[in-house]
Copies of this chain bind each other. A is one copy, B any other.
Amino acid sequence: MSRTKARAALLQELEEAMRRSSAQGVLYGQTVANVAGIANSDLECMDILHLEGRVTAGRLAEVTGLTTGAITGVVDRLEKAGLVRRERDEGDRRKVFITVVPEAAMKIGELYVPLQQAMERVWSAYSEEELRLLLRFANEGYKGVLAATSALKGHLDTPPEKRPDLKMRKLPRRP
Protein backbone atom coordinates (compact mmCIF):
# COMPACT_ATOMS: atom_id res chain seq x y z
CA MET A 1 0.00 0.00 0.00
CA SER A 2 1.38 3.40 -0.98
CA ARG A 3 2.23 6.04 1.54
CA THR A 4 -0.73 8.35 0.83
CA LYS A 5 -3.10 5.46 0.58
CA ALA A 6 -2.11 4.27 4.01
CA ARG A 7 -2.83 7.73 5.30
CA ALA A 8 -6.22 7.88 3.60
CA ALA A 9 -7.18 4.57 5.17
CA LEU A 10 -6.00 5.84 8.53
CA LEU A 11 -8.12 8.98 8.18
CA GLN A 12 -11.18 6.95 7.35
CA GLU A 13 -10.63 4.68 10.30
CA LEU A 14 -10.14 7.75 12.45
CA GLU A 15 -13.36 9.32 11.27
CA GLU A 16 -15.29 6.19 12.01
CA ALA A 17 -13.70 5.67 15.41
CA MET A 18 -14.48 9.25 16.40
CA ARG A 19 -18.06 8.93 15.24
CA ARG A 20 -18.49 5.77 17.24
CA SER A 21 -17.01 7.15 20.43
CA SER A 22 -18.91 10.38 20.09
CA ALA A 23 -22.18 8.48 19.61
CA GLN A 24 -21.39 6.48 22.71
CA GLY A 25 -20.77 9.72 24.57
CA VAL A 26 -24.25 10.87 23.66
CA LEU A 27 -25.62 7.61 24.98
CA TYR A 28 -23.78 8.09 28.25
CA GLY A 29 -25.39 11.50 28.62
CA GLN A 30 -28.84 10.06 27.98
CA THR A 31 -28.22 7.42 30.60
CA VAL A 32 -27.21 10.07 33.12
CA ALA A 33 -30.42 11.99 32.44
CA ASN A 34 -32.37 8.76 32.80
CA VAL A 35 -30.81 7.83 36.11
CA ALA A 36 -31.20 11.38 37.39
CA GLY A 37 -34.84 11.25 36.34
CA ILE A 38 -34.70 14.46 34.32
CA ALA A 39 -35.10 15.27 30.64
CA ASN A 40 -32.14 15.41 28.33
CA SER A 41 -32.21 19.16 27.84
CA ASP A 42 -32.65 19.68 31.55
CA LEU A 43 -29.34 17.93 32.01
CA GLU A 44 -27.79 20.00 29.26
CA CYS A 45 -28.83 23.12 31.11
CA MET A 46 -27.35 21.78 34.35
CA ASP A 47 -24.12 21.28 32.43
CA ILE A 48 -24.15 24.85 31.15
CA LEU A 49 -24.85 26.15 34.64
CA HIS A 50 -22.01 24.00 35.89
CA LEU A 51 -19.69 25.59 33.33
CA GLU A 52 -20.88 29.18 33.43
CA GLY A 53 -22.19 29.51 36.97
CA ARG A 54 -24.91 32.14 37.32
CA VAL A 55 -26.77 32.51 34.06
CA THR A 56 -29.97 34.23 32.92
CA ALA A 57 -32.88 32.30 31.45
CA GLY A 58 -32.35 34.10 28.18
CA ARG A 59 -28.74 32.98 27.94
CA LEU A 60 -29.81 29.39 28.53
CA ALA A 61 -32.17 29.74 25.59
CA GLU A 62 -29.36 31.18 23.50
CA VAL A 63 -26.86 28.47 24.31
CA THR A 64 -29.25 25.53 24.06
CA GLY A 65 -31.06 26.83 21.00
CA LEU A 66 -34.42 26.37 22.72
CA THR A 67 -37.11 29.05 22.81
CA THR A 68 -37.48 31.11 25.98
CA GLY A 69 -40.80 29.42 26.52
CA ALA A 70 -39.13 26.03 26.56
CA ILE A 71 -36.53 27.32 29.01
CA THR A 72 -39.29 28.40 31.35
CA GLY A 73 -40.38 24.77 31.39
CA VAL A 74 -36.84 23.49 31.88
CA VAL A 75 -36.23 25.81 34.82
CA ASP A 76 -39.65 25.01 36.30
CA ARG A 77 -38.79 21.31 36.30
CA LEU A 78 -35.28 21.80 37.61
CA GLU A 79 -36.52 24.12 40.33
CA LYS A 80 -39.22 21.67 41.37
CA ALA A 81 -36.55 18.96 41.52
CA GLY A 82 -34.56 21.21 43.84
CA LEU A 83 -31.60 21.41 41.48
CA VAL A 84 -31.66 25.13 40.72
CA ARG A 85 -33.08 28.35 42.08
CA ARG A 86 -34.48 31.43 40.34
CA GLU A 87 -33.09 34.76 41.48
CA ARG A 88 -34.43 38.04 40.15
CA ASP A 89 -31.66 40.45 39.24
CA GLU A 90 -31.96 43.49 41.51
CA GLY A 91 -30.22 45.73 38.98
CA ASP A 92 -32.54 44.80 36.11
CA ARG A 93 -35.74 43.33 37.41
CA ARG A 94 -36.72 41.78 34.09
CA LYS A 95 -33.86 39.34 34.30
CA VAL A 96 -33.97 36.04 36.14
CA PHE A 97 -30.71 34.45 37.12
CA ILE A 98 -30.60 30.69 37.42
CA THR A 99 -28.19 29.21 39.95
CA VAL A 100 -27.50 25.60 40.83
CA VAL A 101 -28.18 24.31 44.31
CA PRO A 102 -24.73 22.85 45.04
CA GLU A 103 -25.73 19.93 47.27
CA ALA A 104 -28.40 18.70 44.88
CA ALA A 105 -26.30 19.30 41.80
CA MET A 106 -23.50 17.24 43.31
CA LYS A 107 -25.73 14.16 43.22
CA ILE A 108 -25.89 14.59 39.47
CA GLY A 109 -22.18 15.22 39.27
CA GLU A 110 -21.64 11.83 40.85
CA LEU A 111 -23.27 10.18 37.87
CA TYR A 112 -20.32 11.26 35.78
CA VAL A 113 -17.87 9.45 38.02
CA PRO A 114 -17.93 6.16 36.05
CA LEU A 115 -17.10 8.09 32.91
CA GLN A 116 -14.31 10.03 34.58
CA GLN A 117 -12.84 6.91 36.04
CA ALA A 118 -12.97 5.13 32.70
CA MET A 119 -11.24 8.04 30.99
CA GLU A 120 -8.61 8.32 33.67
CA ARG A 121 -7.91 4.64 33.24
CA VAL A 122 -7.43 5.21 29.53
CA TRP A 123 -5.30 8.30 30.01
CA SER A 124 -3.08 6.63 32.56
CA ALA A 125 -1.41 4.72 29.74
CA TYR A 126 -0.30 7.91 27.99
CA SER A 127 2.79 9.99 28.50
CA GLU A 128 2.47 13.65 29.29
CA GLU A 129 3.60 14.53 25.82
CA GLU A 130 0.98 12.28 24.30
CA LEU A 131 -1.67 13.84 26.50
CA ARG A 132 -0.61 17.24 25.27
CA LEU A 133 -1.14 16.02 21.73
CA LEU A 134 -4.62 14.81 22.63
CA LEU A 135 -5.39 18.15 24.23
CA ARG A 136 -4.20 20.01 21.19
CA PHE A 137 -6.36 17.83 19.01
CA ALA A 138 -9.40 18.19 21.24
CA ASN A 139 -9.12 21.97 21.05
CA GLU A 140 -8.53 22.10 17.33
CA GLY A 141 -11.27 19.55 16.76
CA TYR A 142 -13.67 21.65 18.79
CA LYS A 143 -12.91 24.71 16.68
CA GLY A 144 -13.30 22.66 13.51
CA VAL A 145 -16.69 21.28 14.51
CA LEU A 146 -17.81 24.73 15.61
CA ALA A 147 -16.85 26.18 12.24
CA ALA A 148 -18.52 23.29 10.44
CA THR A 149 -21.70 23.86 12.41
CA SER A 150 -21.97 27.49 11.44
CA ALA A 151 -21.07 26.60 7.86
CA LEU A 152 -23.96 24.16 7.80
CA LYS A 153 -26.27 26.67 9.44
CA GLY A 154 -25.19 29.23 6.87
CA HIS A 155 -26.07 26.74 4.20
CA LEU A 156 -29.52 26.57 5.73
CA ASP A 157 -29.96 30.35 5.66
CA THR A 158 -28.87 30.62 2.03
CA PRO A 159 -31.79 30.44 -0.42
CA PRO A 160 -31.74 26.99 -2.08
CA GLU A 161 -30.94 28.21 -5.57
CA LYS A 162 -27.85 30.03 -4.30
CA ARG A 163 -26.47 27.18 -2.23
CA PRO A 164 -23.05 25.97 -3.31
CA ASP A 165 -23.21 22.24 -3.82
CA LEU A 166 -21.61 20.29 -1.04
CA LYS A 167 -19.30 17.62 -2.36
CA MET A 168 -20.51 14.09 -2.35
CA ARG A 169 -19.89 11.76 0.49
CA LYS A 170 -18.94 8.12 0.28
CA LEU A 171 -21.77 5.67 0.00
CA PRO A 172 -22.43 3.16 2.76
CA ARG A 173 -19.81 0.51 2.80
CA ARG A 174 -22.38 -2.27 2.91
CA PRO A 175 -24.91 -1.25 0.28
Interface set of A (CB-CB < 8 Å, partner B): 6-7, 10-11, 13-15, 17-18, 20-28, 30-32, 34-35, 47, 49-54, 65, 100, 102, 105-106, 109-123, 125-126, 128, 130-135, 137-142, 144-149, 151-153, 155-156, 166-172, 174-175
Q: When the two chains form their complex, are residues A118 and B135 in contact, meaning their CB atoms are under 8 A apart?
A: no
Q: How many copies of this chain does one complex carry?
A: 2
Q: How far is the CB of A162 from chain B (nearest CB, A)?
A: 15
- Asked whether A142 lies within 8 Å of B53 as measured between CB atoms, the reply is no
A contact patch SS: helix
Of the candidates B23, B105, B130, B145, the one whose C-beta lies within 8 Å of that of A115 is B145
CB proximity of A81 to chain B, nearest CB, Å: 17
Which residues of B have CB within 8 Å of A153?
31
Q: Which residues does chain B contribute within 8 Å of A168, judged by CB atoms?
A: 106, 109-110, 113
**Is A140 in contact with B167, judged by CB distance below 8 angstroms?**
no
When the two chains form their complex, are residues B145 and A24 in contact, meaning their CB atoms are under 8 A apart? yes
* Partner among B100, B134, B155 whose Cβ is within 8 Å of the Cβ of A35: B155
CB distance from A137 to the nearest CB of B (A): 6
Additional 6 contacts, C-beta under 8 A, given A50-B172, A52-B174: A15-B116, A18-B119, A21-B145, A35-B152, A100-B172, A118-B144
